[in-house]
Structure 1
Amino acid sequence: MGAVAQCLLAACLPLPYALLPAPTLLLCRLLKTLLMTAGLVKHDLADDVIPGKFTAQIPGPDGAVPTLPSQNGVCLLMLAARSSHPLGTFSPGLRTVGARLENMRAALEEGKDNNGFLCQTTFLAANETYTGSQMMMLCYFRSAADAHAFAHGPLHREAWTWWYQITKSHPHLSIRHELYDVPPGNWENIFVNSHPTGLGGMNMPVRCKGGWTRPLFDASKLSLRTTKGRLGHSDGTDNEKYGPEPY
Protein backbone atom coordinates (compact mmCIF):
# COMPACT_ATOMS: atom_id res chain seq x y z
CA MET A 1 0.00 0.00 0.00
CA GLY A 2 2.88 2.33 0.77
CA ALA A 3 4.48 1.57 -2.60
CA VAL A 4 1.20 2.32 -4.40
CA ALA A 5 0.83 5.61 -2.52
CA GLN A 6 4.40 6.56 -3.43
CA CYS A 7 3.74 5.80 -7.10
CA LEU A 8 0.63 7.99 -7.05
CA LEU A 9 2.60 10.84 -5.48
CA ALA A 10 5.33 10.47 -8.11
CA ALA A 11 2.70 10.61 -10.85
CA CYS A 12 0.94 13.69 -9.46
CA LEU A 13 3.69 15.84 -7.94
CA PRO A 14 7.10 17.15 -8.97
CA LEU A 15 9.79 14.61 -8.00
CA PRO A 16 11.27 16.48 -4.96
CA TYR A 17 7.80 16.82 -3.39
CA ALA A 18 6.85 13.25 -4.27
CA LEU A 19 9.93 11.88 -2.48
CA LEU A 20 9.50 14.02 0.65
CA PRO A 21 6.78 12.04 2.57
CA ALA A 22 8.74 8.77 2.93
CA PRO A 23 11.93 10.19 4.54
CA THR A 24 9.79 12.54 6.66
CA LEU A 25 7.80 9.62 8.04
CA LEU A 26 10.94 7.59 8.72
CA LEU A 27 12.60 10.56 10.42
CA CYS A 28 9.58 11.14 12.69
CA ARG A 29 9.50 7.49 13.74
CA LEU A 30 13.23 7.43 14.34
CA LEU A 31 13.04 10.61 16.41
CA LYS A 32 10.19 9.23 18.52
CA THR A 33 12.09 5.98 19.11
CA LEU A 34 15.23 7.85 20.19
CA LEU A 35 13.26 10.11 22.54
CA MET A 36 11.51 7.12 24.15
CA THR A 37 14.80 5.26 24.49
CA ALA A 38 16.33 8.28 26.20
CA GLY A 39 13.33 8.57 28.53
CA LEU A 40 12.44 12.06 27.31
CA VAL A 41 8.93 11.11 26.16
CA LYS A 42 6.45 8.57 27.48
CA HIS A 43 7.02 4.98 26.35
CA ASP A 44 3.40 3.87 26.05
CA LEU A 45 4.24 0.25 25.13
CA ALA A 46 5.47 -0.26 28.71
CA ASP A 47 2.48 1.36 30.41
CA ASP A 48 0.98 -1.83 31.83
CA VAL A 49 4.21 -3.81 32.36
CA ILE A 50 4.54 -5.18 35.90
CA PRO A 51 8.21 -5.34 36.97
CA GLY A 52 9.60 -8.45 38.62
CA LYS A 53 8.20 -11.96 38.86
CA PHE A 54 4.52 -12.60 39.40
CA THR A 55 2.04 -15.41 39.00
CA ALA A 56 -1.72 -15.51 38.52
CA GLN A 57 -3.83 -17.55 40.93
CA ILE A 58 -7.55 -18.12 40.46
CA PRO A 59 -9.60 -16.67 43.32
CA GLY A 60 -12.75 -18.27 44.66
CA PRO A 61 -16.12 -17.19 43.23
CA ASP A 62 -16.55 -14.95 46.27
CA GLY A 63 -13.18 -13.27 45.73
CA ALA A 64 -11.39 -15.26 48.42
CA VAL A 65 -7.61 -15.52 48.05
CA PRO A 66 -6.62 -19.16 47.45
CA THR A 67 -4.76 -20.65 50.41
CA LEU A 68 -2.68 -22.98 48.20
CA PRO A 69 -1.09 -22.54 44.74
CA SER A 70 -3.13 -24.02 41.90
CA GLN A 71 -5.91 -24.60 44.40
CA ASN A 72 -8.71 -24.29 41.86
CA GLY A 73 -9.08 -26.00 38.51
CA VAL A 74 -9.13 -24.13 35.20
CA CYS A 75 -10.48 -24.80 31.72
CA LEU A 76 -8.76 -23.47 28.59
CA LEU A 77 -10.83 -23.10 25.42
CA MET A 78 -8.97 -22.23 22.21
CA LEU A 79 -11.09 -20.86 19.36
CA ALA A 80 -9.43 -20.32 15.98
CA ALA A 81 -10.35 -19.49 12.39
CA ARG A 82 -8.25 -19.44 9.25
CA SER A 83 -8.68 -18.67 5.57
CA SER A 84 -6.94 -20.56 2.77
CA HIS A 85 -8.20 -18.04 0.21
CA PRO A 86 -5.64 -16.09 -1.92
CA LEU A 87 -7.08 -12.86 -0.48
CA GLY A 88 -6.13 -13.94 3.04
CA THR A 89 -7.62 -11.62 5.65
CA PHE A 90 -9.74 -9.98 2.92
CA SER A 91 -11.36 -13.26 1.89
CA PRO A 92 -15.18 -13.55 1.88
CA GLY A 93 -16.63 -14.45 5.26
CA LEU A 94 -13.48 -14.16 7.39
CA ARG A 95 -14.38 -10.70 8.60
CA THR A 96 -17.78 -12.02 9.72
CA VAL A 97 -16.08 -14.84 11.63
CA GLY A 98 -13.89 -12.27 13.38
CA ALA A 99 -16.89 -10.11 14.21
CA ARG A 100 -18.74 -13.06 15.72
CA LEU A 101 -15.71 -13.97 17.82
CA GLU A 102 -15.56 -10.39 19.05
CA ASN A 103 -19.27 -10.44 19.92
CA MET A 104 -18.80 -13.63 21.93
CA ARG A 105 -15.78 -12.14 23.72
CA ALA A 106 -17.74 -9.02 24.64
CA ALA A 107 -20.67 -11.10 25.92
CA LEU A 108 -18.36 -13.23 28.05
CA GLU A 109 -16.69 -10.15 29.52
CA GLU A 110 -20.05 -8.56 30.29
CA GLY A 111 -21.39 -11.57 32.15
CA LYS A 112 -18.19 -12.85 33.75
CA ASP A 113 -19.53 -12.47 37.29
CA ASN A 114 -22.03 -15.26 36.59
CA ASN A 115 -20.73 -17.40 33.69
CA GLY A 116 -17.44 -18.75 35.06
CA PHE A 117 -15.43 -16.81 32.49
CA LEU A 118 -12.03 -15.60 33.73
CA CYS A 119 -10.30 -13.81 30.84
CA GLN A 120 -9.21 -14.06 27.23
CA THR A 121 -6.25 -13.24 24.99
CA THR A 122 -6.41 -12.90 21.20
CA PHE A 123 -3.57 -13.74 18.80
CA LEU A 124 -2.93 -13.41 15.07
CA ALA A 125 -0.79 -16.16 13.53
CA ALA A 126 1.17 -13.86 11.25
CA ASN A 127 3.85 -16.31 10.08
CA GLU A 128 2.01 -19.53 9.23
CA THR A 129 0.99 -18.21 5.81
CA TYR A 130 2.14 -15.20 3.82
CA THR A 131 -1.34 -13.72 4.17
CA GLY A 132 -1.34 -13.98 7.99
CA SER A 133 -4.92 -15.20 7.92
CA GLN A 134 -5.35 -17.18 11.15
CA MET A 135 -6.83 -15.67 14.31
CA MET A 136 -7.03 -17.39 17.68
CA MET A 137 -8.71 -16.57 20.98
CA LEU A 138 -7.70 -18.23 24.25
CA CYS A 139 -10.58 -18.25 26.73
CA TYR A 140 -10.12 -19.25 30.37
CA PHE A 141 -13.07 -20.60 32.38
CA ARG A 142 -13.39 -21.89 35.91
CA SER A 143 -14.55 -25.29 34.64
CA ALA A 144 -15.41 -27.27 31.52
CA ALA A 145 -19.06 -27.05 32.56
CA ASP A 146 -18.86 -23.26 32.26
CA ALA A 147 -17.28 -23.57 28.80
CA HIS A 148 -19.99 -26.00 27.69
CA ALA A 149 -22.71 -23.69 29.02
CA PHE A 150 -21.23 -20.89 26.89
CA ALA A 151 -21.06 -23.17 23.82
CA HIS A 152 -24.76 -24.01 24.17
CA GLY A 153 -25.77 -20.40 24.79
CA PRO A 154 -27.73 -18.39 22.21
CA LEU A 155 -24.82 -16.34 20.85
CA HIS A 156 -22.58 -19.32 20.11
CA ARG A 157 -25.51 -21.38 18.81
CA GLU A 158 -26.40 -18.56 16.41
CA ALA A 159 -22.80 -18.45 15.15
CA TRP A 160 -22.81 -22.24 14.77
CA THR A 161 -26.02 -22.14 12.71
CA TRP A 162 -24.55 -19.43 10.47
CA TRP A 163 -21.40 -21.51 9.98
CA TYR A 164 -23.34 -24.53 8.72
CA GLN A 165 -25.20 -22.29 6.30
CA ILE A 166 -22.01 -21.02 4.64
CA THR A 167 -19.66 -24.04 4.71
CA LYS A 168 -20.44 -25.09 1.12
CA SER A 169 -20.16 -21.57 -0.30
CA HIS A 170 -17.02 -20.73 1.75
CA PRO A 171 -14.80 -23.85 1.59
CA HIS A 172 -11.73 -21.66 2.12
CA LEU A 173 -12.76 -20.95 5.73
CA SER A 174 -11.79 -23.27 8.55
CA ILE A 175 -12.60 -23.14 12.24
CA ARG A 176 -11.37 -25.22 15.18
CA HIS A 177 -11.44 -25.41 18.92
CA GLU A 178 -9.40 -27.17 21.57
CA LEU A 179 -10.53 -27.61 25.15
CA TYR A 180 -8.37 -28.54 28.13
CA ASP A 181 -9.99 -29.21 31.51
CA VAL A 182 -7.20 -28.94 34.08
CA PRO A 183 -7.80 -30.15 37.65
CA PRO A 184 -6.32 -28.39 40.70
CA GLY A 185 -2.60 -28.91 41.19
CA ASN A 186 -1.91 -29.38 37.49
CA TRP A 187 -1.36 -25.87 36.17
CA GLU A 188 1.01 -23.01 36.90
CA ASN A 189 2.28 -19.81 35.29
CA ILE A 190 5.08 -17.30 35.65
CA PHE A 191 5.45 -13.78 34.26
CA VAL A 192 8.65 -11.71 34.41
CA ASN A 193 8.57 -7.98 33.60
CA SER A 194 5.40 -8.68 31.67
CA HIS A 195 2.12 -6.99 30.92
CA PRO A 196 -0.93 -8.90 32.19
CA THR A 197 -1.80 -11.42 29.48
CA GLY A 198 -3.04 -14.98 29.25
CA LEU A 199 -4.30 -16.12 32.64
CA GLY A 200 -2.43 -13.13 34.07
CA GLY A 201 -4.98 -10.90 32.34
CA MET A 202 -7.72 -11.91 34.79
CA ASN A 203 -9.57 -8.89 36.07
CA MET A 204 -11.19 -10.92 38.85
CA PRO A 205 -10.97 -9.01 42.15
CA VAL A 206 -9.66 -10.68 45.29
CA ARG A 207 -10.20 -9.47 48.83
CA CYS A 208 -7.15 -8.15 50.65
CA LYS A 209 -6.48 -6.03 53.73
CA GLY A 210 -6.59 -2.80 51.76
CA GLY A 211 -9.74 -3.65 49.80
CA TRP A 212 -9.77 -5.39 46.42
CA THR A 213 -6.96 -6.12 43.97
CA ARG A 214 -6.11 -8.29 40.96
CA PRO A 215 -5.23 -11.98 41.56
CA LEU A 216 -1.52 -11.50 40.78
CA PHE A 217 0.99 -12.58 43.41
CA ASP A 218 4.70 -12.08 44.01
CA ALA A 219 6.47 -15.12 42.53
CA SER A 220 9.86 -14.43 44.11
CA LYS A 221 8.91 -15.68 47.56
CA LEU A 222 7.94 -18.89 49.34
CA SER A 223 6.37 -21.70 47.33
CA LEU A 224 5.56 -19.47 44.34
CA ARG A 225 9.27 -19.29 43.45
CA THR A 226 9.39 -22.56 41.51
CA THR A 227 7.34 -24.58 39.06
CA LYS A 228 6.67 -27.39 41.57
CA GLY A 229 5.78 -24.80 44.19
CA ARG A 230 3.26 -23.07 41.92
CA LEU A 231 1.77 -26.50 41.22
CA GLY A 232 1.34 -26.96 44.95
CA HIS A 233 3.83 -29.86 44.99
CA SER A 234 6.66 -28.29 47.05
CA ASP A 235 7.54 -25.46 49.43
CA GLY A 236 9.58 -23.62 46.76
CA THR A 237 13.04 -24.80 47.88
CA ASP A 238 13.38 -27.63 45.34
CA ASN A 239 15.39 -25.58 42.82
CA GLU A 240 17.78 -23.77 45.16
CA LYS A 241 20.77 -25.69 43.77
CA TYR A 242 20.22 -23.91 40.43
CA GLY A 243 20.71 -20.40 41.83
CA PRO A 244 19.13 -17.77 44.08
CA GLU A 245 16.39 -16.77 41.60
CA PRO A 246 15.00 -19.98 40.08
CA TYR A 247 12.15 -19.88 37.62
Structure 2
Amino acid sequence: MSKLAPKGDYLFAMPSYGYTKMANPRMGETLRAARNRFANLVGMDTGAWLLAKAGLLDGLRATIHWDEITSFMETFPEVHVVEDRYVVEKGTATCGGASTAFELTLELIRQEHSPMFALEIAALFMHGDKLEMQNPLERWSTDTLVRSATTLMRRTIEVPLSIPGLASKLRTNQRTLEKRFQNEMNMTPLSVYKGIRLREARRLVELSTLSIAEIAARCGYQNTSAMIRAFRQEFGVPPGHCRHHD
Protein backbone atom coordinates (compact mmCIF):
# COMPACT_ATOMS: atom_id res chain seq x y z
CA MET A 1 0.00 0.00 0.00
CA SER A 2 1.47 3.36 -1.00
CA LYS A 3 1.80 6.07 1.58
CA LEU A 4 -0.44 9.11 1.27
CA ALA A 5 1.36 12.27 0.23
CA PRO A 6 1.62 14.76 3.11
CA LYS A 7 -0.55 17.86 3.09
CA GLY A 8 -1.21 20.77 5.39
CA ASP A 9 -1.52 24.51 5.87
CA TYR A 10 2.17 25.37 5.43
CA LEU A 11 5.21 23.86 3.77
CA PHE A 12 8.52 25.53 4.67
CA ALA A 13 11.54 25.32 2.36
CA MET A 14 14.88 26.33 3.90
CA PRO A 15 17.82 24.92 1.90
CA SER A 16 20.53 27.36 3.13
CA TYR A 17 23.81 26.50 1.37
CA GLY A 18 23.86 24.44 -1.83
CA TYR A 19 20.48 25.76 -2.92
CA THR A 20 21.43 26.10 -6.62
CA LYS A 21 22.15 22.37 -6.85
CA MET A 22 18.91 21.61 -5.06
CA ALA A 23 16.96 23.73 -7.57
CA ASN A 24 16.81 20.87 -10.07
CA PRO A 25 13.90 19.52 -12.15
CA ARG A 26 13.00 16.93 -9.53
CA MET A 27 12.78 19.58 -6.80
CA GLY A 28 10.65 21.74 -9.07
CA GLU A 29 8.27 18.86 -9.73
CA THR A 30 8.05 18.13 -6.00
CA LEU A 31 7.25 21.74 -5.10
CA ARG A 32 4.69 22.14 -7.87
CA ALA A 33 2.96 18.98 -6.64
CA ALA A 34 3.07 20.34 -3.10
CA ARG A 35 1.31 23.47 -4.34
CA ASN A 36 -1.85 21.36 -4.66
CA ARG A 37 -1.54 19.87 -1.17
CA PHE A 38 -0.41 22.82 0.94
CA ALA A 39 -2.33 26.05 1.35
CA ASN A 40 0.88 28.06 1.71
CA LEU A 41 4.46 27.58 0.52
CA VAL A 42 7.13 29.46 2.48
CA GLY A 43 10.67 30.08 1.27
CA MET A 44 13.03 30.91 4.14
CA ASP A 45 16.58 32.20 3.67
CA THR A 46 17.38 30.90 0.14
CA GLY A 47 14.17 28.88 -0.06
CA ALA A 48 12.73 31.54 -2.36
CA TRP A 49 15.21 30.37 -5.02
CA LEU A 50 13.68 26.89 -5.03
CA LEU A 51 10.16 28.29 -5.28
CA ALA A 52 11.14 30.67 -8.09
CA LYS A 53 12.95 27.94 -10.03
CA ALA A 54 9.77 25.87 -9.83
CA GLY A 55 7.81 28.78 -11.31
CA LEU A 56 5.81 29.31 -8.12
CA LEU A 57 6.72 32.96 -7.62
CA ASP A 58 6.01 34.23 -11.15
CA GLY A 59 4.26 37.60 -10.98
CA LEU A 60 4.50 37.72 -7.17
CA ARG A 61 6.46 39.85 -4.75
CA ALA A 62 9.25 37.94 -3.02
CA THR A 63 12.52 38.39 -1.19
CA ILE A 64 15.56 36.27 -0.39
CA HIS A 65 18.72 36.49 1.70
CA TRP A 66 20.11 39.91 0.87
CA ASP A 67 23.47 38.47 -0.26
CA GLU A 68 21.59 36.86 -3.14
CA ILE A 69 19.21 39.69 -4.07
CA THR A 70 21.03 40.80 -7.22
CA SER A 71 21.54 37.28 -8.53
CA PHE A 72 17.93 36.44 -7.71
CA MET A 73 16.67 39.44 -9.68
CA GLU A 74 18.83 38.60 -12.69
CA THR A 75 17.93 34.90 -12.71
CA PHE A 76 14.17 35.33 -12.20
CA PRO A 77 13.02 38.54 -13.94
CA GLU A 78 9.40 37.33 -13.79
CA VAL A 79 9.50 37.62 -9.98
CA HIS A 80 8.91 41.05 -8.40
CA VAL A 81 11.93 41.02 -6.08
CA VAL A 82 11.93 43.44 -3.13
CA GLU A 83 14.50 44.05 -0.40
CA ASP A 84 12.01 43.68 2.43
CA ARG A 85 12.80 41.56 5.47
CA TYR A 86 9.86 39.31 4.63
CA VAL A 87 7.02 39.24 2.11
CA VAL A 88 3.61 37.61 2.51
CA GLU A 89 1.53 37.02 -0.61
CA LYS A 90 -1.62 34.95 -1.02
CA GLY A 91 -0.46 31.34 -0.84
CA THR A 92 3.26 32.15 -0.55
CA ALA A 93 5.69 33.85 1.81
CA THR A 94 9.43 34.50 1.68
CA CYS A 95 12.03 35.96 4.01
CA GLY A 96 15.71 36.77 3.96
CA GLY A 97 17.44 34.92 6.79
CA ALA A 98 17.54 33.76 10.40
CA SER A 99 16.14 36.77 12.26
CA THR A 100 13.68 37.55 9.49
CA ALA A 101 12.41 33.97 9.65
CA PHE A 102 11.22 34.66 13.18
CA GLU A 103 9.65 37.94 12.12
CA LEU A 104 7.85 36.18 9.29
CA THR A 105 6.66 33.48 11.69
CA LEU A 106 5.23 36.17 13.98
CA GLU A 107 3.40 37.71 11.05
CA LEU A 108 1.94 34.33 10.04
CA ILE A 109 0.83 33.76 13.63
CA ARG A 110 -0.75 37.21 13.65
CA GLN A 111 -2.66 36.47 10.45
CA GLU A 112 -3.71 32.93 11.39
CA HIS A 113 -4.56 33.61 15.03
CA SER A 114 -4.45 37.14 16.41
CA PRO A 115 -2.16 40.09 17.09
CA MET A 116 -2.44 39.37 20.82
CA PHE A 117 -1.19 35.80 20.38
CA ALA A 118 1.73 37.01 18.23
CA LEU A 119 2.50 39.56 20.92
CA GLU A 120 2.68 36.76 23.50
CA ILE A 121 4.97 34.62 21.34
CA ALA A 122 7.33 37.53 20.72
CA ALA A 123 7.57 38.25 24.44
CA LEU A 124 8.10 34.56 25.24
CA PHE A 125 11.14 34.45 22.96
CA MET A 126 12.40 37.87 24.22
CA HIS A 127 12.28 39.10 20.66
CA GLY A 128 13.84 42.49 20.00
CA ASP A 129 15.68 45.04 22.14
CA LYS A 130 14.55 46.25 25.57
CA LEU A 131 11.84 48.57 24.25
CA GLU A 132 10.56 45.96 21.81
CA MET A 133 10.47 43.34 24.55
CA GLN A 134 8.10 45.67 26.40
CA ASN A 135 6.05 46.01 23.22
CA PRO A 136 6.93 43.29 20.64
CA LEU A 137 4.08 44.54 18.45
CA GLU A 138 6.46 47.31 17.38
CA ARG A 139 8.45 44.84 15.30
CA TRP A 140 5.69 44.41 12.75
CA SER A 141 2.96 46.95 13.32
CA THR A 142 3.10 49.66 10.67
CA ASP A 143 0.86 52.09 12.55
CA THR A 144 2.93 54.40 14.75
CA LEU A 145 -0.11 55.46 16.80
CA VAL A 146 -1.01 51.85 17.58
CA ARG A 147 2.61 51.12 18.49
CA SER A 148 2.75 54.10 20.84
CA ALA A 149 -0.61 53.20 22.37
CA THR A 150 0.28 49.58 23.10
CA THR A 151 3.61 50.64 24.60
CA LEU A 152 1.77 53.04 26.91
CA MET A 153 -0.71 50.31 27.79
CA ARG A 154 2.08 47.99 28.89
CA ARG A 155 3.61 50.75 31.01
CA THR A 156 0.34 51.46 32.81
CA ILE A 157 -0.91 47.96 33.64
CA GLU A 158 -1.17 48.53 37.40
CA VAL A 159 -3.00 51.84 37.08
CA PRO A 160 -4.84 51.63 33.72
CA LEU A 161 -5.78 54.78 31.86
CA SER A 162 -9.22 55.38 30.47
CA ILE A 163 -9.33 55.20 26.67
CA PRO A 164 -10.05 58.96 26.44
CA GLY A 165 -7.11 59.50 28.82
CA LEU A 166 -4.90 57.26 26.71
CA ALA A 167 -5.87 59.18 23.59
CA SER A 168 -5.15 62.47 25.31
CA LYS A 169 -1.63 61.40 26.32
CA LEU A 170 -1.02 60.37 22.70
CA ARG A 171 -2.28 63.78 21.54
CA THR A 172 -5.14 62.34 19.54
CA ASN A 173 -8.85 61.74 20.12
CA GLN A 174 -10.71 58.58 21.07
CA ARG A 175 -12.44 58.26 17.71
CA THR A 176 -9.14 58.29 15.81
CA LEU A 177 -7.60 55.83 18.25
CA GLU A 178 -10.55 53.45 17.91
CA LYS A 179 -10.40 53.60 14.12
CA ARG A 180 -6.67 52.98 13.93
CA PHE A 181 -6.86 49.98 16.27
CA GLN A 182 -9.73 48.53 14.28
CA ASN A 183 -7.79 48.89 11.02
CA GLU A 184 -4.52 47.51 12.39
CA MET A 185 -5.64 44.83 14.84
CA ASN A 186 -9.37 44.37 14.26
CA MET A 187 -9.82 45.06 17.97
CA THR A 188 -10.81 48.02 20.09
CA PRO A 189 -8.16 49.76 22.23
CA LEU A 190 -10.10 48.65 25.32
CA SER A 191 -9.95 44.99 24.22
CA VAL A 192 -6.22 45.18 23.55
CA TYR A 193 -5.59 46.91 26.89
CA LYS A 194 -7.62 44.26 28.69
CA GLY A 195 -5.78 41.50 26.84
CA ILE A 196 -2.37 42.90 27.79
CA ARG A 197 -3.38 43.15 31.46
CA LEU A 198 -4.84 39.63 31.55
CA ARG A 199 -1.78 38.11 29.89
CA GLU A 200 0.38 39.74 32.51
CA ALA A 201 -1.96 38.28 35.12
CA ARG A 202 -1.57 34.82 33.61
CA ARG A 203 2.21 35.20 33.54
CA LEU A 204 2.25 36.11 37.23
CA VAL A 205 -0.11 33.25 38.09
CA GLU A 206 2.13 30.76 36.30
CA LEU A 207 5.54 32.07 37.34
CA SER A 208 5.15 33.76 40.75
CA THR A 209 3.91 32.87 44.22
CA LEU A 210 1.86 36.06 44.55
CA SER A 211 -1.70 35.62 45.74
CA ILE A 212 -4.51 36.03 43.23
CA ALA A 213 -5.53 39.22 45.05
CA GLU A 214 -2.01 40.65 44.70
CA ILE A 215 -1.92 39.73 41.02
CA ALA A 216 -5.28 41.36 40.47
CA ALA A 217 -4.00 44.58 42.05
CA ARG A 218 -0.81 44.52 39.97
CA CYS A 219 -2.85 44.13 36.81
CA GLY A 220 -5.18 47.04 37.49
CA TYR A 221 -8.13 45.25 39.11
CA GLN A 222 -9.35 46.73 42.37
CA ASN A 223 -11.80 43.85 42.68
CA THR A 224 -10.28 40.35 42.69
CA SER A 225 -13.57 38.75 41.65
CA ALA A 226 -13.73 41.00 38.59
CA MET A 227 -10.23 39.87 37.54
CA ILE A 228 -11.16 36.21 38.03
CA ARG A 229 -14.27 36.64 35.87
CA ALA A 230 -12.33 38.44 33.15
CA PHE A 231 -9.57 35.81 33.33
CA ARG A 232 -12.05 32.96 32.91
CA GLN A 233 -13.74 34.74 30.02
CA GLU A 234 -10.41 35.32 28.27
CA PHE A 235 -8.73 31.95 28.86
CA GLY A 236 -11.60 29.57 29.60
CA VAL A 237 -10.37 28.64 33.10
CA PRO A 238 -10.00 30.47 36.43
CA PRO A 239 -6.51 31.67 37.47
CA GLY A 240 -6.03 28.81 39.91
CA HIS A 241 -6.05 26.30 37.06
CA CYS A 242 -2.94 27.96 35.58
CA ARG A 243 -0.95 27.90 38.79
CA HIS A 244 1.92 25.40 38.79
CA HIS A 245 2.15 23.31 41.91
CA ASP A 246 5.38 21.63 43.05
TM more than 0.5: no
State the TM-score, normalizing by the size of structure 2.
Answer: 0.22
Larger radius of gyration: 1
Q: Which has the higher contact order (CA 8 A, sep 6+)?
A: 1
Q: Looking at secondary structure, tell me which structure has more helix per residue.
A: 2
Q: Looking at secondary structure, tell me which structure has more strand per residue.
A: 1
State the TM-score, normalizing by the size of structure 1.
Answer: 0.22
